[in-house]
Structure 1
Amino acid sequence: MNESELLAVLNRFLDSNVKLSVLTYVGAAIISIVVGAISAYVTAYLKKSAEVKVLSDRIDTTNQQLALQTDVVKRVEAEISNQTWIEQQRWLFRKDLYLSIIELLIKAREQSLALDEIIGAIPGFYFDEESELDEDEQVENWENLVSLSIQECHDFVEENITPVANDIALLINKQGRLFLNRNSLDILADFYNSNETWYEKELMEEGFDANNAHPYGLPNGPCEVGYLSHYSKAAKEAYKMIIKEAKNDLKIDMSLVNSKNVI
């Protein structure tokens, strides 16, 4: 019973000429106050309960959104971590590949330097006036010695340098074409094909164009000694260039390697 209902009851008593005591009015007032307080409390409780429910729903929604965001973040972090791992593995693979190539080029350079010593031992001609042989016979003997020395050089190339070049070519065909950049492949291709291109390069270095210059305007054609001597030059050049390219490709700071503070 609310206040208005209580007043209506009292009014009916008054209209019916029923006399009510003071205690009745006091009790009615107390009942009215209690009922009002309870009504206010219930109303506040229901309002607060509604607010709490709305807040709870918002919290649940926020938690769901946070869970979704956390899941997205974790997936992105996993993808980044996975991509970083893949790049690290690629870097390590390229590094090992470069080291294998450099090791082969060092071997080719060492063998080429040994070839240079054999070439340097090819005898030059001199006429021995005290010999019983005439000049033509001495020239013939000298040419035979030179021919044997040249053949020894060619045999050395086939046994010691060509296998190294073939190992490099095999490594490139199996792995290098997938993981090395174009500059590195060109450097190694120039080294492998240097036995066919060395003379044209020498002409270019001397300022000649073999395609446009008149034959009589060119220096002497390629010789056996020049052909054999090019191996050490090609190996040194390929080694120097592949070191530089590997440093750039792998982003290695050589200043740290060359620092005096390195332990």
Structure 2
Amino acid sequence: MLAVMTWVPLLLTAICSGAAAYFGAYLKEAGKLRKLNESLDETTEQIRSHTQAAEEVRSKLSKEMWVEQQKWEFKRDLYLPMLDILVELHEKCLKANKIMDKIGNLDNEDWDRYQSDRNSIMNETKEYISREVEPIEEKLWTLTLKKGNLFLDYEITQHIENLRNAENIRSRESFKQYQNDVKNGRASVDDINSYHSEEISISYKSEAVEKAYKLLLDSARRDLALIAKPINPTGKKSKTLRPSETHTENCPA
């Protein structure tokens, strides 16, 4: 009986020790597993956060690209018609110059006949300008007011406005030049008519059209990324990307 009583406590001690060791290992592994789950949850949350941020960036970039694309298309639909109008306007001015050039072929031996023929040519030129040139100028100005002021450089819109008022500007500049020449003895008071001839007026308008065209073309190349390639080693200028290529063939450089 005494031996049994001695053995039982030892057995209970062994069982408790084993149970303690087992549960200790279990709790240790459970703690590791809990930490692993917490780390996994944190990683999952980070991935979710990064994914959401990436989606927001992608959405923002997509919207910005769409806006830029819309701007590009708007500018394209603005530049091309304006360039076409300027090319047409330049051609009409050249035609007016050709009509005016007929004055140089007149025989001035009969002064009265010369003056009559000259006036006839001048009237023909004025009628042509009124019928063919001025409506195109108004079309260009209307397009500038409706759309051009949104995206065109101030220099371009200002020059188009100057083109529309070219005759008034030329008259002021010519009169100022006339006054300066008279003051410095390069002209007499009676020479004023030579500073306000119709020939000078047509030539001035043609130059204004060419300048407006070049300014607009340069702006279109920048905005639409239609930049001409550098001159190659052969000495020949590489082609400019379309659509500006078609315009450069119709208007003097």
Residues in 2 aligned to 1:41 and 1:183: alpha-carbon distance in whole angstroms? 88
Report whether the alignment pairs 1:166 with 2:166: no
Residues in 1 aligned to 2:133 and 2:143: alpha-carbon distance in whole angstroms? 16
Aligned residue runs from structure 1 range 247-262, under 5 A: 247-255=221-229, 258-259=237-238
Q: Secondary structure at the match of 1:253?
A: coil
Unaligned runs of at least 5 residues, structure 1: 1-17, 128-137
Residue matched to 1:188 = 160
Judging changes above 3 Å, is the alpha-carbon distance between structure 1 residues 183 and 124 closer, same or farther for their aligned structure 2 residues?
same
**CA-CA distance at 1:83 after TM superposition:** 0.8
Structure-2-length-normalised TM-score: 0.77
**Higher-Rg member (1/2):** 1
Q: Over aligned residue pairs, what C-alpha RMSD do you find? A: 2.9
Residues in 1 aligned to 2:167 and 2:90: alpha-carbon distance in whole angstroms? 15
- Pick aligned residue for 1:148 from 109, 120, 123: 120
Identity, % of aligned pairs?
A: 22
**CA-CA distance at 1:71 after TM superposition:** 1.2
Residues in 2 aligned to 1:198 and 1:164: alpha-carbon distance in whole angstroms? 20
Structure-1-length-normalised TM-score: 0.74
Q: Structure 1, residues 72-101: CA drift from partner, whole Å, max 9, x if none?
A: 221122112211221122122212211111
Q: Structure 1, residues 229-251: CA drift from partner, whole Å, max 9, x if none?
A: 32322222222232223223334
Residues in 2 aligned to 1:256 and 1:52: alpha-carbon distance in whole angstroms? 67
Judging changes above 3 Å, is the alpha-carbon distance between structure 1 residues 212 and 57 closer, same or farther for their aligned structure 2 residues?
farther
Q: Structure 1, residues 137-167: CA drift from partner, whole Å, max 9, x if none?
A: x433322222121111011001111111111
Judging changes above 3 Å, is the alpha-carbon distance between structure 1 residues 161 and 47 closer, same or farther for their aligned structure 2 residues?
same
**CA-CA distance at 1:215 after TM superposition:** 4.2
Is the 2:163–2:209 Cα contact (8 Å) retained in structure 1?
yes
Residues in 1 aligned to 2:117 and 2:178: alpha-carbon distance in whole angstroms? 36
Q: Secondary structure at the match of 2:195?
A: coil
Is the 1:119–1:229 Cα contact (8 Å) retained in structure 2?
no
Judging changes above 3 Å, is the alpha-carbon distance between structure 1 residues 216 and 140 closer, same or farther for their aligned structure 2 residues?
farther
Judging changes above 3 Å, is the alpha-carbon distance between structure 1 residues 212 and 103 closer, same or farther for their aligned structure 2 residues?
same
Is the 1:169–1:192 Cα contact (8 Å) retained in structure 2?
yes
**CA-CA distance at 1:125 after TM superposition:** 4.4
Is the 2:89–2:137 Cα contact (8 Å) retained in structure 1?
yes
AA of the residue aligned to 1:126:
N
Deviates more, 1:65-74 or 1:86-95: 65-74
Deviates more, 1:142-151 or 1:243-252: 243-252
- Pick aligned residue for 2:2 from 12, 19, 22: 19
